[in-house]
Structure 1
Amino acid sequence: MKSAVETLNPTRVRLTVEVPFEELKPSLDAAYKKINQQVTVPGFRKGKIPARIIDQRFGRGAVLEEAVNEALPKLYEDAVNEGDLKPLGRPEVDITELKDNETLTFTAEVDIRPEFEIPDYSGISVEVDAIEVPEEDVDKSVEQLRERFASTTPVERAAAEGDVVTIDLEASVDGEVLDDGVASGVSYTIGSGELLDGIDEAVTGLEAGGSATFSSELKGGSAAGREAEVKVEVTQVAERELPELDDDFAQMASEFDTLEEMRADSRKRLEQMKRYDQAQQAQEKVLDELLGLVEIPVPEKLLEEEISTRKHNLENHQLAQMGMDLEGYLKLQEKTAEEHDAELKEQAERGIRTQFVLDELVGKEQVNVGQEELTEHLMRRAQSSGMSPDQFAQAVVEGGQVPVLVGEVARGKALAVVVEAATITDTNGEAVDLSEEDETAETVTPAAETPSATETADETAGADGDDVKPSETTGA
């Protein structure tokens, strides 16, 4: 077999492969054997039909087509290895010449990983927010805990701000009550802003048994983003009573003996959250700086697939779970379809470039992934997916996605290497040490919840016979 590689652009090549007919003999034998098991010819036992009879009855062309389809995956793989290529996705194969008992010639166009050099990243310097926890943040945290321990007492008076009302709701659009616009026995704290715009004004001043109607834009459901007439009926008004902020409250609401101890713990927790946010911010900024140091062309088809995948996940998973369609989502986001598409393209392109550069770093820095690291990552992914670790692990194995998880961990570790080499200071001019936060690095890698087109394409390219077949227009 002879093969030649023609570079069409920095991310796409055309392979031309010429195969002597004798190399097709194993595939021809397999083709005759397969056809033998599928057809019946009078006078011959099943599986014992001579090759010349199959040629006479069913045509030599049918045998050649079967043999070529069987041989193509291995021939393509050999050509890829010979050319030292890193293909992305399925190739477009075209049989250009098939001479019986002479030669088979075919071409295969395929996207490849672009070649680039990882630049010196030791000079990267970024600034992040300083970790500061003002007293008002601690006050707010303690107040939220206090709210959780509030008690309610039914009262016979008009509802006021801060009261908890039990209400029934009925939403109508264009005069028709929505199937998913009816709710009974809803508990709502006036002034919390947790329900529809306009509901606070509607229920304030109503006693039990009172009702009102108001207009509001629906935030979710089948009519998300549309204006609706909402009827609200108050069935109960209850007054909220907050516990005193003292040591007794601290002992009731926490494991601490004093209010001061509980406040100190709240401050510590807030600091930990801000430290995590700071680490995330540092990694994002370092990654942006790294991407800015190197030009990485993005394969057009791969970008199209990534955009399509992200759009599908948004519309059919994320928005579907919220009971919202794309039109309602865009209205809430105050974006046009064009702005959304442009943003989606930018995110997809950045995600692909990020994967390329981090994968290159994995090789350059010789990053390895241990079993313990993989297990910890699997546990985190299972938690975010809402599945048990056993269920998630089974789904990963059955879906052949273990290499995807390994890649995610490896990219996270590769980014951690760059972050460690970078100079990171906070807005107060203090040096920031992220040595204890390196496990969060993986969270900024693209497609953290769903394998991206980049990952799946790498794994499926040339993996089996279904991936490499001649196009329908070749007449093979």
Structure 2
Amino acid sequence: MKSAVETLNPTRVRLTVEVPFEELKDSLDAAYKKINQQVTVKGFRKGKVPARVIDQRFGRGAVLEEAVNDALPKFYTDAVNEAELNPLGQPEVDITELKDGETLNFTAEVDVRPTIEIPDYSGIEVEVDAVEVTEEDVDKAVEELRERFASTTPVERAAEDGDVVTIDLEAKVDGEVLEDGIANGVSYTIGSGELLDGVDAAVTGLSADQEATFTSELKGGSAAGKEAEVTVKVTQVAKRELPELDDEFAQMASEFDTLEELRADSRKRLENMKQYDQATQAQERVLDKLLELVEVPVPEKLLEDEINTRKHNLEHHQLGQMGLDLEKYLEIQGKTAEEFDTETREAAVKGIKTQFVLDQLVNQEKLNVNQEELTEHLMRRAASSGMSPDQFAQAVVEGGQVPLLVGEVARGKALASVVEKATVKDTNGEIIDLEDEEEDETAEAPAADADEASAEDKAEEKADKAEEKAEEKTEG
């Protein structure tokens, strides 16, 4: 077999391949054998029809077609390996000549990974947000915790903003009650915005056993997106009462004995969150700077496939789970279809460029992935998917996705190596050493995990007691 490579553009090549006919022998034998199992010829046992009879009865052309279809993938792969190409996607194959007993010639056009030259990136400088936690931030965190321990007390008055009402709902579309349009005993906090648009105005001012009707667009269910006439009946009005912010609250809501200790812990948690956000921000901005330094041609076919995949995942997975279609999503986002297409294309281009550049760095820096790193990544991916590590690992192995996970880890290491050489400053002009922060977090992790476990047990016990108190108060 002889082959030659013609570069059509930086991301596409054409392979021209010449195959001597004798190299088709194995595929021809396999073709005769396959046809033998499929046909019946009088006078011959099944599977024992001679080749010359098959040629006479069914045509030599049918045998050649079967043999070539069988052989092409191997010849194409051999040509790709010989030329040391990195193909992307499936090739477009064209048989240019097939002479029985003489030769098989074909061409194959395919997208390939572009050759990328990565310049010195040690001079990259980026600015990130400073880690600053204000008293207002701490107040907000403590207040959110306080909200979780609020109790409710039934009252004999009209419902007001912030009250918790128990309501029955009935939705009609075109005068007909929907099969899934009835809900009874729903607990709702007025002003939370967690139910239908218009429900807040409808229930405000109503007392127990009073009802009102309003129109609203349904967010989910069998008539999602349609206008419905909704009747809401209040069966109970309850006033929310927040616990006093004192040491007793700290003891009830956490493992701490004083409010001061609780606030200090809240501050530390907020600082850790902001440090994590800062590190993420540094990675994103360093990556953007790196991509600006590198010329990366993008294969058009690969780009179109990536755009279609992103749109499909959004429409059929993410939006589908929320009961939305693309048109409604764009309306909520305040975007036109053209703006959405532009943003999707830009994101796809960046995603492809990022993978090409980081993969090149992996090869250039000879970065490897060990079992421990792969396991840690698998655990994180499992947690984000809502599956157990064992379930996720099984799905990855069965789906043949292990190389993809290895690639993700390797690219993460490549980006980390770039960030390590970059100069990262916060908005106060202070140089941030992200490596030190990661080491500190790693060193503290075992102790923190142990503390968190005991703290959760203690907090859960106190939360149970708090709920008992709230129930007693409600019953009273």
**What's 1:443 paired with?**
none
In structure 1, distance between residues paired with 2:304 and 2:255? 54
Report the CA distance between 1:311 and its aligned residue.
0.7
Stretch deviating more after TM superposition (406-415 or 217-226): 217-226
Q: Which amino acid aligns with 1:66?
A: E
Report the CA distance between 1:44 and its aligned residue.
2.5
Stretch deviating more after TM superposition (182-191 or 294-303): 182-191
In structure 2, distance between residues paired with 1:329 and 1:176? 27
Unpaired segments ≥5 residues, structure 2: 443-476
Q: Go from structure 1 to structure 2 and tell me whether the alpha carbon gap of 1:123 and 1:145 turns closer, same or farther (over 3 Å shift).
A: same
Contact 1:170 1:181 in 2 (8 A): yes
**What's 1:258 paired with?**
258
Stretch deviating more after TM superposition (85-94 or 216-225): 216-225
**What's 2:45 paired with?**
45
In structure 2, distance between residues paired with 1:230 and 1:293? 57
Contact 1:279 1:437 in 2 (8 A): no
**What's 1:36 paired with?**
36
**What's 2:438 paired with?**
436
Residues 230-269 of structure 1: pairs in structure 2 closer than 5 A:
230-269=230-269
Contact 1:225 1:332 in 2 (8 A): no
TM-score (norm 1): 0.88
Higher relative helix content? 2
Q: Go from structure 1 to structure 2 and tell me whether the alpha carbon gap of 1:117 and 1:141 turns closer, same or farther (over 3 Å shift).
A: same
- Other structure's SS at 1:297 match: coil
**What's 2:11 paired with?**
11
In structure 1, distance between residues paired with 2:289 and 2:179? 50
**What's 2:318 paired with?**
318
In structure 2, distance between residues paired with 1:179 and 1:315? 26
In structure 2, distance between residues paired with 1:176 and 1:355? 53
Report the CA distance between 1:143 and its aligned residue.
1.1
Q: Go from structure 1 to structure 2 and tell me whether the alpha carbon gap of 1:9 and 1:181 turns closer, same or farther (over 3 Å shift).
A: farther
Report the CA distance between 1:439 and its aligned residue.
11
In structure 2, distance between residues paired with 1:238 and 1:59? 86
Contact 1:224 1:325 in 2 (8 A): no
Report the CA distance between 1:42 and its aligned residue.
2.6
Q: Is 1:186 the equivalent of 2:186? A: yes
In structure 1, distance between residues paired with 2:441 and 2:243? 40
**What's 1:332 paired with?**
332
Deviation track 1:334-376 (CA, whole Å, cap 9, x = no partner) reads 1111111111111111111111111111111111111111111
Q: How many residues align?
A: 440
**What's 1:407 paired with?**
407
Report the CA distance between 1:228 and its aligned residue.
4.5
**What's 2:86 paired with?**
86
In structure 1, distance between residues paired with 2:333 and 2:180? 22
Q: Which amino acid aligns with 1:190?
A: I
Residues 337-416 of structure 1: pairs in structure 2 closer than 5 A:
337-416=337-416
In structure 2, distance between residues paired with 1:222 and 1:333? 23
Q: Go from structure 1 to structure 2 and tell me whether the alpha carbon gap of 1:217 and 1:96 turns closer, same or farther (over 3 Å shift).
A: same
**What's 1:282 paired with?**
282
Report the CA distance between 1:7 and its aligned residue.
1.5
In structure 1, distance between residues paired with 2:226 and 2:332? 10
Unpaired segments ≥5 residues, structure 1: 441-476
Q: Which amino acid aligns with 1:328?
A: K
- Other structure's SS at 1:436 match: helix
Contact 1:221 1:323 in 2 (8 A): yes
Report the CA distance between 1:330 and its aligned residue.
1.0
Report the CA distance between 1:136 and its aligned residue.
1.1
Report the CA distance between 1:437 and its aligned residue.
7.7
Q: Go from structure 1 to structure 2 and tell me whether the alpha carbon gap of 1:330 and 1:50 turns closer, same or farther (over 3 Å shift).
A: same
Contact 2:219 2:323 in 1 (8 A): no
Contact 1:142 1:263 in 2 (8 A): yes
Contact 1:91 1:108 in 2 (8 A): yes
In structure 2, distance between residues paired with 1:169 and 1:160? 19
Q: Go from structure 1 to structure 2 and tell me whether the alpha carbon gap of 1:176 and 1:357 turns closer, same or farther (over 3 Å shift).
A: farther
Deviation track 1:231-268 (CA, whole Å, cap 9, x = no partner) reads 32211101112111111111111111111111111111
Q: Go from structure 1 to structure 2 and tell me whether the alpha carbon gap of 1:432 and 1:110 turns closer, same or farther (over 3 Å shift).
A: same
Q: Which has the higher contact order (CA 8 A, sep 6+)?
A: 1
**What's 2:426 paired with?**
426
Deviation track 1:291-314 (CA, whole Å, cap 9, x = no partner) reads 111111111111111111111111
Q: Go from structure 1 to structure 2 and tell me whether the alpha carbon gap of 1:340 and 1:296 turns closer, same or farther (over 3 Å shift).
A: same
- Other structure's SS at 1:257 match: coil
In structure 1, distance between residues paired with 2:20 and 2:244? 90
Structural RMSD (CA): 2.0
Report the CA distance between 1:49 and its aligned residue.
2.3
Identical-pair percentage: 82
**What's 2:112 paired with?**
112
- Other structure's SS at 2:366 match: coil
Residues 123-272 of structure 1: pairs in structure 2 closer than 5 A:
123-172=123-172, 175=175, 177-221=177-221, 228-272=228-272
**What's 2:472 paired with?**
none
Report the CA distance between 1:96 and its aligned residue.
1.0
Q: Which amino acid aligns with 1:264?
A: A
In structure 1, distance between residues paired with 2:339 and 2:168? 38
Contact 1:362 1:410 in 2 (8 A): yes
Stretch deviating more after TM superposition (342-351 or 213-222): 213-222
In structure 1, distance between residues paired with 2:176 and 2:8? 58
Deviation track 1:7-42 (CA, whole Å, cap 9, x = no partner) reads 111111111111110111111122122222222323
In structure 1, distance between residues paired with 2:401 and 2:325? 30
- Other structure's SS at 2:33 match: helix
Contact 1:225 1:329 in 2 (8 A): no
In structure 1, distance between residues paired with 2:236 and 2:270? 37
**What's 1:308 paired with?**
308
- Other structure's SS at 1:18 match: strand
In structure 1, distance between residues paired with 2:267 and 2:331? 38
Q: Go from structure 1 to structure 2 and tell me whether the alpha carbon gap of 1:439 and 1:138 turns closer, same or farther (over 3 Å shift).
A: closer
Report the CA distance between 1:124 and its aligned residue.
0.6
Q: Which amino acid aligns with 1:117?
A: E
In structure 1, distance between residues paired with 2:359 and 2:27? 37
Residues 87-102 of structure 1: pairs in structure 2 closer than 5 A:
87-102=87-102
In structure 1, distance between residues paired with 2:290 and 2:152? 55
Q: Go from structure 1 to structure 2 and tell me whether the alpha carbon gap of 1:345 and 1:176 turns closer, same or farther (over 3 Å shift).
A: farther
